[in-house]
């Protein structure tokens, strides 16, 4: 089993899951970094794995699987002892609901800030899209802040689920574009706790990332 990831990207979510699988079941995995800044996602070798030119990709023998939620669900079904989601159907559905919202709403909003030129033409339109999407992203961070205020200690109770790893990436991505993580105190406290959770801690170390990249003016 091999995960193609980019440090600090959404692939951090299945990467954290794989570390939890390894820790709880002993199942080893390989991982390979793809340099998105240098176009590693558009090389012929990578496009053969995922023609959509995106990480994450999970490779199982000759087969490949893309999409964060699908990879996490697959790992859960294959390694139930890793407890990536709850065993209770309703609790699991809540965890999945949060994960899918992050993947289909919060993440694409950030993409409109980070990759604005892919969505509109012209400097003025790009600036407008960035500004509008940043306001939306700030709103989502506040929404997650409210969720983390009730985190016990994870977003969905006493067990880690993939949505936790996604939430950690969002506060980091915000810091990357100049949004102070400490503006959402509950979220920032949760992010610091989560960074110390063993599978997440190992993933941070493996990817060589820091969570708070915010620089005060």
Ligand X SMILES: N[C@@H](CCC(=O)N[C@@H](CS)C(=O)NCC(=O)O)C(=O)O
- Contact with ligand X (CB under 6 A) among 1, 53, 177, 209: 53
User: Quick count: other Cβ atoms within 10 Å of Cβ 140?
Assistant: 18
Which of the residues 29 through 48 are near ligand X (CB under 6 A)?
A: 36, 41
Segment near ligand X (CB under 6 A); pick from 50-58, 78-86, 152-160, 183-191:
50-58
* 3-state percent breakdown (helix, strand, coil) of the chain, nearest 5: 60, 10, 30
Specify the residue, 101 or 153, whose C-beta has the smaller distance to ligand X. Answer: 101
CA dist 108 and 51 (Å) reads 19
CA dist 198 and 38 (Å) reads 31
Which of the residues 154 through 213 are near ligand X (CB under 6 A)?
A: none
Minimum Å gap between C-beta 150 and ligand X is 26
Which of the residues 82 through 111 are near ligand X (CB under 6 A)?
A: 103
Minimum Å gap between C-beta 66 and ligand X is 6
Strands (E), the chain: 2-5, 30-33, 57-60, 63-66
Nearest partner of 46 among 28, 33, 37, judged by Cα: 33
Q: Judging by DSSP bridges, how do beta strands 30-33 and 2-5 pair with one another?
A: parallel
3-state secondary structure 116-167: HHHCCCCHHHHHHHHHHHHHHHHHHHHHHHHHHHCCCCECCECCCCHHHHHH
CA dist 14 and 59 (Å) reads 12
Specify the residue, 129 or 186, whose C-beta has the smaller distance to ligand X. Answer: 129
Binding mask 61-80 vs ligand X (x if CB under 6 A, - otherwise)?
Answer: -----xxx------------
Specify the residue, 126 or 186, whose C-beta has the smaller distance to ligand X. Answer: 126
In the block, tokens 């176009």 appear at 39
Binding of residue 134 to ligand X (CB under 6 A)? no
> How many residues bind ligand X, per CB under 6 A?
14
- Contact with ligand X (CB under 6 A) among 16, 31, 54, 109: 54
Segment near ligand X (CB under 6 A); pick from 53-61, 77-85, 138-146, 147-155:
53-61
Residues lying near ligand X in the complex (CB under 6 A): 6, 9-10, 36, 41, 53-56, 66-68, 103, 115
């Amino acid at each position: 089993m091999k995960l193609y990831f980019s440090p600090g990207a959404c692939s951090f979510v299945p990467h954290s899951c794989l570390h939890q699988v390894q820790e709880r079941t002993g199942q080893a995995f390989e991982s390979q970094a793809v340099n998105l800044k240098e176009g590693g996602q558009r090389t012929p070798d990578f496009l053969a794995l995922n023609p959509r030119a995106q990480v994450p990709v999970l490779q199982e023998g000759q087969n490949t699987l893309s999409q964060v939620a699908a990879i996490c669900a697959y790992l859960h079904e294959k390694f139930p002892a890793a407890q990536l989601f709850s065993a209770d159907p309703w609790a699991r559905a809540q965890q999945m609901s949060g994960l899918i919202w992050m993947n289909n709403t919060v993440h694409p909003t950030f993409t409109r800030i980070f990759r604005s030129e892919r969505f509109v033409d012209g400097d003025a339109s790009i600036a407008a899209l960035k500004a509008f999407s940043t306001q939306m992203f700030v709103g989502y961070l506040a929404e997650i802040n409210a969720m983390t205020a009730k985190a016990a200690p994870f977003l969905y109770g006493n067990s880690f689920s993939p949505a936790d790893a996604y939430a950690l990436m969002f506060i980091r991505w915000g810091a990357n574009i100049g949004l102070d993580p400490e503006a959402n105190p509950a979220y920032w406290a949760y992010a610091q706790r989560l960074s110390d959770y063993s599978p997440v801690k190992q993933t941070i170390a493996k990817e060589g990332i820091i969570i708070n990249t915010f620089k005060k003016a």
